[in-house]
Amino acid sequence: MTELAWLTIAQASVLLKTKQLSPVEYASALIAHGERHDPHYNAYLRATPELALADARRAEAQIMRGEWRGPFHGVPFGLKDIVDYQGLPTTAHSKILQDSIAQADAVVTQKLRDAGGVFMGKLSTHEFAIGGPSFDLPWPPARNPWNRDHFCGGSSSGSGAATAAGFLPAAIGSDTGGSIRNPAGQCGVVGMKPTYGLVSRRGVVPLSFSLDHLGPLTRTVRDNALMLDVIAGHDAQDPGSANRAAGGYTSELGRDVKGLRIGVIRHFFADDMQADPEMATSIEAALRRFEALGAQVRDITTAPLGEYATCNRVILTSEAFAIHEQWMRERAQDYGALGRERLMAGAFVRAADYVNATRLRRKLADAFHALFSEVDIVITSNSMDPACRIDDPQALEQAYARQSRAPFNLTGSPAISVPTGFSKNGLPLSMQIVGKPFSEALVYRVAHCYEQATGWTQRHPDLV
């Protein structure tokens, strides 16, 4: 059972296709693994073992009939609970939506089900993907599998925790200011924020229409690319969807990085902010590794991190309040304290400030994209620190400010968080690898090359 919990999608796919592993056996093992350990981590907001076994039986029957649907066939997955699954509540981890039943699947849900995926349940988040980790909501916050006394990142907290803990090999998260890459980094897994518009957001509770992204969290880079192959694609009913061909994200895996030009935004974590020494040291070691693998590594300069962060905050809070204004007027008491405080901030942003922020965003994005005439890929920090304690409000507030993820929500660039080692206290460290728009295959190539050279993703937490 324990061995099945740590299978990658790529490994499981071979076993499932060749009938060496039954989808029912696989799902049953992961259900048991979750039931044993998740009471200590709260990764699931709503586990759905009956639905999982029904999906697994369906997948098994299809495989037995020779109806193989691809590498996700029979593979368990979970959804951040802002993503609709028909017939189940989509709560956004909030009292306000606790009885809101989804009338249809989200686009990503339907794509994963069509690919033969096995739905395991809804995963914890922060309230409306912004207010957390909170202890005054109907459900407790998720905890870090490497140390349950520590934060697991947010807002896709359950997606990061469940993947790291082996409850499932794949999960959907969302990212508006870093909410896929934060839990990926804090939990030692791989999280991709794809190019803006690459993955449909239809059927997902919005936070900020112009900044929201959906993407995969997995334990390996190859698995992440396999999952993105399933969920990417144009959706004419999502106004932000990109109308261009999608897929082929595993096509460059296995290629080396010799001759690739890597630009390092070192000032994000050395000057604009000073990263924890262990975090900074792990990134510098990764850069030396790339040089040893034949890449050309040099520093590049962008706008200061604080300029990106302020611009992101003005746009995010303005758009979030516009979405929540009626509920904030009528049901403010039903929000948790953190959610109410963070959403209310948008009520005090002037229209002129919002307009100027959108204009600045365009300038920042254009300047960043222009750098790719000189480099092929960009590397910088993710979180500035390892995970803090989950019961330390001051440290948690600082953790949300001490990050360099928000710039790439503004630019819409593909950005992946990959593990770079562990702190002396055994907590994961990470960095970001960033590409120009729609260069996911190259980003995965670079991330995979580093992963194979280091093996950080092969380590798993000792669960309670």
The model's pLDDT over 7-41, given as tens digits with 9 standing for 90+, comes to 999 999 999 999 999 999 999 999 999 999 999 99
Q: Which two tokens stand for residue 405?
A: 């993820």
Question: Is the predicted pLDDT of residue 222 greater than 90, yes or no?
Answer: yes
Question: Which residues are known to be catalytic?
Answer: 80, 155, 179
CA–CA gap between residue 126 and residue 339 (Å, rounded): 8
Q: By C-alpha distance, which of 238, 189, 239, 197 is closest to 214?
A: 197
User: pLDDT, tens digit, for every residue of 338-390?
Assistant: 999 999 999 999 999 999 999 999 999 999 999 999 999 999 999 999 999 99
Determine the average pLDDT of the residues in 156-172: 98
Extended beta strands in 328-367, E state? none
Question: What value does the mean pLDDT of the chain take?
Answer: 98
Cβ 111 vs Cβ 172: under 8 Å:
no
Name which of 1, 70, 60 is nearest 32 in CA terms: 1
| CB distance 81 to 138 below 8 Å | no
412: region left, alpha or beta (phi > 0 left; psi from -120 to 50 alpha): left
Per-residue pLDDT of 52-98, as tens digits, reads 999 999 999 999 999 999 999 999 999 999 999 999 999 999 999 99
pLDDT at 1 over 60: no
Q: Residue 2's pLDDT is what?
A: 65
The span from the CA of 240 to the CA of 284, in Å, is: 36
Per-residue model confidence as pLDDT tens digits over 176-197: 999 999 999 999 999 999 999 9
CATH of domain 2-236+247-458: 3.90.1300.10
pLDDT-derived band at 198 (thresholds 50, 70, 90) equals very high
Distance from C-alpha of 38 to C-alpha of 374, rounded to nearest angstrom: 47
* 82 Cα distance to chain centroid: 13
Distance, in Å, from the CA atom of 350 to the CA atom of 367, rounded to the nearest integer, reads: 26
For residues 122 and 108, what is the distance between their CA atoms, to the nearest angstrom?
A: 14
Distance of CA 68 to the CA centre of its chain: 28
Percent with pLDDT over 90 in the chain:
100
Q: Measured between alpha carbons, how far is 93 from 87 in angstroms, rounded to an integer?
A: 17
pTM, two decimal places: 0.98
Q: What is the dihedral of CA 155, 247, 169, 24, to 10 degrees?
A: 130
Omega before 383 within 30 of 0, i.e. cis: no
d(CA 191, CA 181): 5
Mean pLDDT of 209-230: 98
pLDDT above 60: residue 133: yes
Please give, one letter per residue, the 3-state secondary structure of 343-402.
HHHHHHCCHHHHHHHHHHHHHHHHHHHHHHHCCCEEEECCECCCCCECCCHHHHHHHHHC
